[in-house]
């Protein structure tokens, strides 16, 4: 099947301009199947993995439905985590870059309610992107009105159910307009998704992008390792392949902590994602991993939801999932957008049935390899390429990325290539600097000024 170009569809001109500016010319399979149905007003259930292009698909649908002249909330996108909500908000803002005067508001927990209330009091946003709990809070306060809603999107619906948001989603849906379009996107398709669809949708059309068997860009290896051997196997594999960035998946928070402690003892720089982290700490963990200031992230499936790393080198499965579909979703985090990736899975004897289920689901035999813990090379602790500096100033001080880049390439004398991702939040800015230049960058920013102001700067360790 030949790729379909966006320009051959009925997508309006401002959206086509945005897509062209973003470098999007051809549709991904999920976009080709879903966008025509969304534009004609159908309810859909779409099964597609993370990284398949679903955000652009429903983003085009949402923006196509808006009447910008009406200051009322016309679209709601519910996401399981704040991180995913932030990513979706940024993606839709980029898609709307040639559509002036659209107000989009992100409503998530972990940030002060008063700022959200103040924004809602000015005038209603055209689009709300949020987590079920915080959106419910605003509905109960009557600070948000969804009776004018035209389109409801449930993004990563399976994980919202896994996280126990069923009651919150039902409450939110009950406060929306009776007549609306509902789009349900899910990476997996458990029975609970069908139940949710029956509750919220009208004659939905099901779309399934069968990418579960297509991992040609991902090298997969399985290793026999009993529980007591897994820590050694982990280090041996990391030392052999030296991936620039790795997510290690565990089934429990306790195992995550155990694995992280073992790798730290071996001299590796490791970050963990778990439910005990404060929102600010969680944001920093995700940010540092995404900007290559940390090479290894250990997480459970739920904790890693919303993690969007475009060039993740490797995935390590420390414990096999009971669900082969979850396993496919895990390894699909690497080898995205035409890139190559590696997936390493450890399998104890009591997990062999899970491995067989994965082979049957993939319809391909597993490739088994061996690790040699006795031949671990020295000095292989995967020192991260970047260091993150945090600046106590952000959007409220009207700081822009060009201000930071100018300060670093001007007085500090750094090359533009020494500066990595710059992430600007309300009151803080994070900038990734190549490790060799980090000391100079830190000293220069501490002694100098940004936009004429002296701001506190420190390195995150």
**What is the residue extent of each domain of the chain?**
6-208, 218-375, 386-459
Q: Which pLDDT does position 211 carry in this prediction?
A: 52
Buried/exposed code over 162-194 (b: 16+ C-beta within 10 A; e: otherwise): bbebbebbebbbebbeeebbbbbbbbbbeeebe
Q: Which pLDDT does position 203 carry in this prediction?
A: 92
Nearest-angstrom CA–CA distance, 123 and 388:
37
Rounded to an integer, the average pLDDT of 303-328 is 82
Q: How confident is the model at residue 212 (pLDDT cuts 50, 70, 90)?
A: very low
Nearest-angstrom CA–CA distance, 210 and 125:
36
Residue 89: pLDDT over 90: yes
Q: How confident is the model at residue 213 (pLDDT cuts 50, 70, 90)?
A: very low
Asked whether 69 and 123 are in contact (CB, 8 A), the reply is no
Vertex 42, ends 38 and 46: CA angle to 5°? 65
Rounded to an integer, the average pLDDT of 203-225 is 78
Structure-token pair, residue 100: 């002036």
Q: Which pLDDT does position 332 carry in this prediction?
A: 81
Rounded to an integer, the average pLDDT of 296-303 is 84
Identical topology for domains 218-375 and 386-459: no
Q: What is the three-state SS of 154-196?
A: ECCHHHHHHCCCHHHHHHHHHCCCCCCEEEEEECCCCHHHHHH
Rounded to an integer, the average pLDDT of 253-282 is 86
Cα 322 to its chain centre, rounded Å, is 23
Tell me how far CA of residue 135 lies from CA of 102, 164, 166, in angstroms: 20, 15, 13
Residue 338: pLDDT over 70: no
Q: pLDDT, tens digit, for every residue of 408-424?
A: 888 778 888 899 999 88
Nearest-angstrom CA–CA distance, 187 and 29:
14
* CA-based nearest residue to 31, from 1, 63, 4: 4
Rounded to an integer, the average pLDDT of 331-339 is 75
**CATH topology for the 6-208 domain:** Rossmann fold (3.40.50)
Q: Which pLDDT does position 34 carry in this prediction?
A: 93
Structure-token pair, residue 214: 């297509």
Q: pLDDT, tens digit, for every residue of 391-410?
A: 998 888 888 888 898 888 88
Residue 80: pLDDT over 50: yes
Asked whether 370 and 412 are in contact (CB, 8 A), the reply is no
Residue 308: pLDDT over 80: no
Cα 276 to its chain centre, rounded Å, is 19
Q: pLDDT, tens digit, for every residue of 107-150?
A: 998 778 888 998 898 889 999 999 999 999 999 999 999 999 99
Nearest-angstrom CA–CA distance, 31 and 354:
32
pTM across the whole model: 0.68
DSSP state of 422: E
* Helix residue spans in 47-131 (DSSP H): 54-65, 82-95, 113-122
Nearest-angstrom CA–CA distance, 437 and 414:
7
pLDDT, the chain, mean: 88
Residue 260: pLDDT over 60: yes
Percent of the chain exceeding pLDDT 90 equals: 50
Rounded to an integer, the average pLDDT of 3-13 is 86
Q: Which pLDDT does position 25 carry in this prediction?
A: 87
Percent of the chain exceeding pLDDT 70 equals: 93
| Residue whose pair of structure tokens reads 């701001």 in the numeric block | 455
- Strands of the sheet containing 270-273, edge to edge, are 270-273, 296-299, 246-249, 314-317, 341-347, 218-224, 368-369
Asked whether 217 and 341 are in contact (CB, 8 A), the reply is yes
Architecture of 386-459 per CATH?
Answer: 2-Layer Sandwich (3.30)
Q: Which CATH number fits domain 218-375: 3.90.79.10, 3.40.50.300, 3.40.630.10, 3.30.465.10?
A: 3.40.50.300
Nearest-angstrom CA–CA distance, 302 and 324:
16
């Amino acid at each position: 099947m030949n790729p379909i170009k966006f320009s051959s569809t009925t997508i309006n001109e401002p959206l086509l301009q945005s897509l062209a500016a973003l470098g999007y010319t051809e549709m991904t399979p999920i976009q080709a199947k879903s966008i025509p149905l969304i534009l004609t007003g159908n309810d859909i259930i779409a099964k597609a993995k993370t990284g398949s292009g679903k955000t652009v698909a429903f983003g085009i649908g949402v923006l196509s439905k808006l009447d910008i002249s009406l200051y009322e909330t016309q679209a709601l996108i519910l996401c399981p985590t704040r991180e995913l909500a932030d990513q979706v908000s940024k993606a839709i803002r980029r898609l709307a870059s040639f559509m002036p005067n659209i107000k989009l508001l992100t409503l998530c927990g972990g940030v002060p309610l008063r700022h959200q209330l103040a924004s809602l009091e000015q005038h209603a946003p055209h689009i709300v992107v949020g987590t079920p709990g915080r959106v419910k809070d605003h509905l109960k306060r009557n600070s948000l009105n969804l009776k004018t809603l035209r389109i409801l999107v449930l993004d990563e619906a399976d994980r919202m159910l896994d996280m126990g948001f069923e009651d919150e989603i039902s409450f939110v849906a009950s406060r929306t307009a009776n007549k609306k379009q509902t789009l349900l996107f899910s990476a997996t398709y458990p029975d609970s998704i069908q139940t949710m669809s029956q509750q919220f949708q009208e004659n939905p059309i099901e779309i399934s992008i069968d990418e579960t068997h297509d991992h040609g860009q991902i090298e997969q290896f399985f290793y026999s390792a009993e529980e007591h051997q897994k820590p050694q196997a982990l280090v041996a594999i990391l030392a052999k392949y030296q991936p620039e960035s790795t997510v290690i998946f565990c089934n429990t928070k306790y195992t995550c902590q155990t694995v992280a402690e073992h790798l730290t003892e071996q001299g590796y720089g490791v970050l963990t994602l778990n439910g005990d982290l404060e929102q600010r700490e969680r944001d920093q963990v995700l940010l540092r991993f995404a900007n290559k200031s940390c090479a290894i992230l250990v997480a459970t499936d739920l904790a890693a939801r919303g993690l969007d790393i475009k060039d993740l080198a490797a995935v390590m499965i420390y414990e096999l999932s009971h669900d082969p579909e979850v396993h496919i979703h895990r390894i699909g985090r690497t080898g995205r957008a035409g890139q190559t990736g590696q997936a390493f899975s450890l399998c104890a004897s009591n997990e062999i049935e899970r491995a067989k289920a994965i082979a049957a689901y993939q319809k391909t035999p597993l490739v088994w390899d061996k690790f040699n813990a006795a031949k671990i090379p020295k000095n292989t602790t995967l020192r991260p390429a970047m260091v993150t500096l945090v600046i106590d100033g952000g959007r409220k001080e009207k700081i822009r990325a060009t201000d930071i880049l100018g300060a670093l390439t001007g007085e500090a004398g750094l090359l533009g290539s020494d500066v990595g991702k710059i992430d600007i939040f309300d009151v803080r800015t994070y900038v990734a600097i190549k490790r060799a230049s980090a000391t100079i960058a830190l000293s220069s920013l501490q002694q100098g000024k940004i936009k004429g102001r002296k701001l506190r700067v420190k390195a995150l360790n």
